[in-house]
Amino acid sequence: MENIENNSIEPAGHGGARPGAGRPKGQTNRLTAKEILDTASSMMGKPFVVSLIEGYIDTINSGDVRNRVVYEKMILDKTATTIIEAEITDSSDAVEMKKAAFAEAMANLLKTNQD
Protein backbone atom coordinates (compact mmCIF):
# COMPACT_ATOMS: atom_id res chain seq x y z
CA MET A 1 0.00 0.00 0.00
CA GLU A 2 1.27 3.42 -0.87
CA ASN A 3 1.99 5.91 1.89
CA ILE A 4 1.26 9.34 0.44
CA GLU A 5 3.09 11.31 3.14
CA ASN A 6 6.61 10.06 2.38
CA ASN A 7 6.07 8.44 -1.05
CA SER A 8 7.15 5.02 0.21
CA ILE A 9 5.55 1.69 -0.50
CA GLU A 10 4.75 -0.57 2.45
CA PRO A 11 5.35 -4.29 1.97
CA ALA A 12 2.26 -6.44 1.45
CA GLY A 13 3.52 -9.09 3.90
CA HIS A 14 4.77 -11.58 1.30
CA GLY A 15 8.18 -13.22 1.28
CA GLY A 16 10.83 -13.71 3.86
CA ALA A 17 11.33 -16.45 6.40
CA ARG A 18 8.35 -17.39 8.53
CA PRO A 19 8.22 -19.74 11.49
CA GLY A 20 7.09 -23.25 10.47
CA ALA A 21 7.51 -22.60 6.74
CA GLY A 22 9.27 -25.06 4.48
CA ARG A 23 10.01 -28.77 4.65
CA PRO A 24 10.61 -30.16 8.15
CA LYS A 25 14.22 -31.12 8.94
CA GLY A 26 15.07 -34.70 8.01
CA GLN A 27 12.19 -34.99 5.55
CA THR A 28 12.85 -35.50 1.87
CA ASN A 29 10.44 -35.46 -1.01
CA ARG A 30 13.10 -36.41 -3.54
CA LEU A 31 12.92 -39.56 -5.56
CA THR A 32 16.03 -41.67 -5.72
CA ALA A 33 17.22 -43.41 -8.87
CA LYS A 34 16.74 -46.73 -7.08
CA GLU A 35 13.08 -45.92 -6.33
CA ILE A 36 12.46 -45.00 -9.96
CA LEU A 37 14.15 -48.16 -11.30
CA ASP A 38 12.42 -50.41 -8.75
CA THR A 39 9.01 -48.91 -9.60
CA ALA A 40 9.63 -49.25 -13.34
CA SER A 41 10.74 -52.85 -12.87
CA SER A 42 7.70 -53.79 -10.80
CA MET A 43 5.30 -52.12 -13.25
CA MET A 44 6.87 -53.83 -16.27
CA GLY A 45 7.26 -57.19 -14.55
CA LYS A 46 10.93 -57.43 -15.45
CA PRO A 47 14.15 -55.65 -14.54
CA PHE A 48 14.49 -52.18 -16.07
CA VAL A 49 17.82 -53.11 -17.66
CA VAL A 50 16.07 -55.89 -19.61
CA SER A 51 13.53 -53.40 -20.97
CA LEU A 52 16.35 -51.00 -21.80
CA ILE A 53 18.19 -53.63 -23.84
CA GLU A 54 14.94 -54.74 -25.52
CA GLY A 55 14.41 -51.13 -26.62
CA TYR A 56 17.96 -51.01 -27.96
CA ILE A 57 17.45 -54.26 -29.89
CA ASP A 58 14.18 -52.89 -31.31
CA THR A 59 16.03 -49.85 -32.69
CA ILE A 60 18.51 -52.17 -34.41
CA ASN A 61 15.80 -54.43 -35.85
CA SER A 62 13.70 -51.51 -37.09
CA GLY A 63 16.68 -49.66 -38.63
CA ASP A 64 16.08 -46.62 -36.39
CA VAL A 65 19.64 -45.29 -36.60
CA ARG A 66 18.95 -42.03 -34.75
CA ASN A 67 17.56 -43.71 -31.63
CA ARG A 68 20.11 -46.52 -31.87
CA VAL A 69 22.86 -43.93 -31.53
CA VAL A 70 21.06 -42.44 -28.50
CA TYR A 71 20.91 -45.88 -26.85
CA GLU A 72 24.57 -46.61 -27.66
CA LYS A 73 25.76 -43.27 -26.29
CA MET A 74 23.78 -43.74 -23.10
CA ILE A 75 24.99 -47.32 -22.60
CA LEU A 76 28.62 -46.39 -23.29
CA ASP A 77 28.41 -43.36 -20.98
CA LYS A 78 27.32 -45.69 -18.16
CA THR A 79 29.75 -48.53 -18.87
CA ALA A 80 32.90 -46.91 -20.29
CA THR A 81 34.37 -46.14 -16.86
CA THR A 82 33.99 -49.81 -15.88
CA ILE A 83 35.68 -50.96 -19.09
CA ILE A 84 38.57 -48.53 -18.63
CA GLU A 85 39.00 -49.58 -14.99
CA ALA A 86 39.19 -53.24 -16.01
CA GLU A 87 41.95 -52.47 -18.48
CA ILE A 88 43.92 -50.46 -15.96
CA THR A 89 43.68 -53.08 -13.22
CA ASP A 90 45.07 -55.94 -15.38
CA SER A 91 48.33 -57.39 -14.09
CA SER A 92 51.44 -57.21 -16.26
CA ASP A 93 51.20 -61.00 -16.80
CA ALA A 94 47.65 -60.62 -18.08
CA VAL A 95 48.72 -57.85 -20.44
CA GLU A 96 51.54 -59.99 -21.83
CA MET A 97 49.16 -62.93 -22.31
CA LYS A 98 46.74 -60.68 -24.19
CA LYS A 99 49.56 -59.37 -26.39
CA ALA A 100 50.63 -62.92 -27.23
CA ALA A 101 47.05 -64.02 -27.96
CA PHE A 102 46.51 -60.99 -30.20
CA ALA A 103 49.77 -61.64 -32.08
CA GLU A 104 48.79 -65.29 -32.58
CA ALA A 105 45.32 -64.31 -33.82
CA MET A 106 46.82 -61.81 -36.26
CA ALA A 107 49.29 -64.41 -37.53
CA ASN A 108 46.46 -66.92 -38.07
CA LEU A 109 44.42 -64.28 -39.86
CA LEU A 110 47.31 -63.40 -42.16
CA LYS A 111 47.98 -67.09 -42.83
CA THR A 112 44.29 -67.67 -43.69
CA ASN A 113 44.26 -64.69 -46.06
CA GLN A 114 47.41 -65.90 -47.86
CA ASP A 115 46.00 -69.40 -48.50
| pLDDT tens for each residue of 46-88 | 998 899 999 999 999 999 999 999 999 988 888 776 666 555 6
Query: What does the mean pLDDT of the chain come to?
Result: 80
Q: Is residue 100 part of a domain?
A: no
The whole domain housing 83 covers 31-90
Query: Residue 25 pLDDT > 90, yes or no?
Result: no
Q: Is residue 38 part of a domain?
A: yes
CA distances (Å), origin 10, targets 2, 4, 6, 88: 6, 11, 11, 66
Q: Is residue 114 part of a domain?
A: no
Residues 6+ apart with CB under 8 A from 36: none
Q: Is residue 69 part of a domain?
A: yes
How many domains does the chain fold into?
Answer: 1
Q: Is residue 60 part of a domain?
A: yes
Q: Is residue 37 part of a domain?
A: yes
Q: Is residue 23 part of a domain?
A: no
- Tell me how far apart the alpha carbons of residues 95 and 86 are, in angstroms, rounded to a whole number: 11
Quick one: pLDDT at residue 64? 94
Quick one: pLDDT at residue 62? 96
Residues 6+ apart with CB under 8 A from 52: 71
Task: Give the pTM.
Answer: 0.44
Q: Is residue 14 part of a domain?
A: no
